[in-house]
Amino acid sequence: MLDLDGKPIAGAVLDVWQTQSNGLYDSQDKNPNELHMRGKFRSDSEGRYLIRTVQPVNYPIPSDGPVGAMLKATGRHPMRPAHIHFVAMADGYEAVTTHIFDRTDPYLDSDAVFAVKDSLICDFVRHETPTPEAAKLGIAGPVLTASFDFVLQPAGAAAQVDVLDAQRRLAALGARA
Ligand SMILES: [Fe+2]
């Protein structure tokens, strides 16, 4: 977890959720075990975090209602590329809601909800023997690892950008009048 100058943010919170390996969120599962595939994690004094989860899978968004009709009308499929959701937050910074995507997913270029950005695509690297971090978590078999640096901007910075943008737009209108 980093600030705009690349300095680590300690004590930041990552709120994480994803589907199970069957492509369903816990709220969609008819027989949910309990709330799962969710968790909150905190960065350490060096801004680092470590999360253990399952490999994300691609899945179809619900398409039995108006959304399905719209997808059909526009000739689009309902698939979302494999991803993990995050809200990254820390005192004094703007919280950001985002997700990371698996670079090998076949639906990256046609996400049903148009949410893929190049900067959010990650390499999920396969290791036949556990990495030191995986071993620390008690994982014995092959693992995939992905790294992602969340960068937070100071609280109020977004509002400041909005004001500057509005001033630029007003100035442009004035120039045209
Ligand atoms: Fe999702």
Domain housing 118: 2-176
Region 3-30 average pLDDT: 93
How many angstroms is it from 102 CA to the middle of ligand 1? 13
| Cα 40 to ligand 1 centre (Å) | 17
Q: How far is the CA of 110 from the centre of ligand 1 (A)?
A: 15
Q: What is the 18 CA–ligand 1 centroid distance (Å)?
A: 6
Residue 129, C-beta contacts closer than 8 angstroms, at least 6 positions apart: 142
Cα 19 to averaged position of ligand 1 atoms, centre (Å): 7
Q: Say which residues have a Cβ less than 8 Å from residue 8's Cβ, sequence separation at least 6.
A: 1, 2, 43, 45, 46, 47, 48
Structure tokens at 116: 């893929």
Q: Decide if 72 contacts 51 (C-beta within 8 A).
A: no
In terms of average pLDDT, the best of 95-104, 127-136, 159-168 is 95-104
Q: Is the pLDDT of residue 177 over 70?
A: no
In tens, the pLDDT along 57-107 reads: 999 999 999 999 999 999 999 999 999 999 999 999 999 999 999 999 999
CA of 83 to the centre of ligand 1 (A): 6
Q: Which of 30, 37, 66, 34 lies closest to 51, judged by CA?
A: 37
The string of DSSP letters for 90-152 reads -TTB--EEEEEEETT-TTGGG-TT----GGGEE--EEESS--HHHHHTT--S-EEE-----EE
Copy the structure tokens of residue 112: 């049903």
Q: How many domains does the chain have?
A: 1
CA of 33 to the centre of ligand 1 (A): 19
Pair 18, 83: CB distance under 8 Å: yes
Distance 57 CA to ligand 1 centre (A): 10
> Residue 30 pLDDT > 90, yes or no?
no
Cα(141) to centroid(ligand 1), Å = 27
Report the run of H or E that residue 27 belongs to, with start and end. Answer: none
The pLDDT, as a whole number, for residue 161 is 66
- C-alpha distances in angstroms, 149 versus 7, 9, 105? 11, 11, 21
Measured CA to CA, the distance from residue 102 to residue 55 in angstroms comes to 9
**CATH number where 162 lies:** 2.60.130.10
Q: Mean pLDDT, the chain, as a whole number?
A: 92
Ligand 1 centre to CA of 153 (Å) is 24
Distance 177 CA to ligand 1 centre (A): 46
DSSP conformational letter for 64: S
Condensed to tens digits (0 to 9), the pLDDT of residues 37-46 reads 999 999 999 9
Ligand 1 centre from 17 Cα, in Å? Answer: 8
Cβ atoms of 20 and 109 closer than 8 Å: no
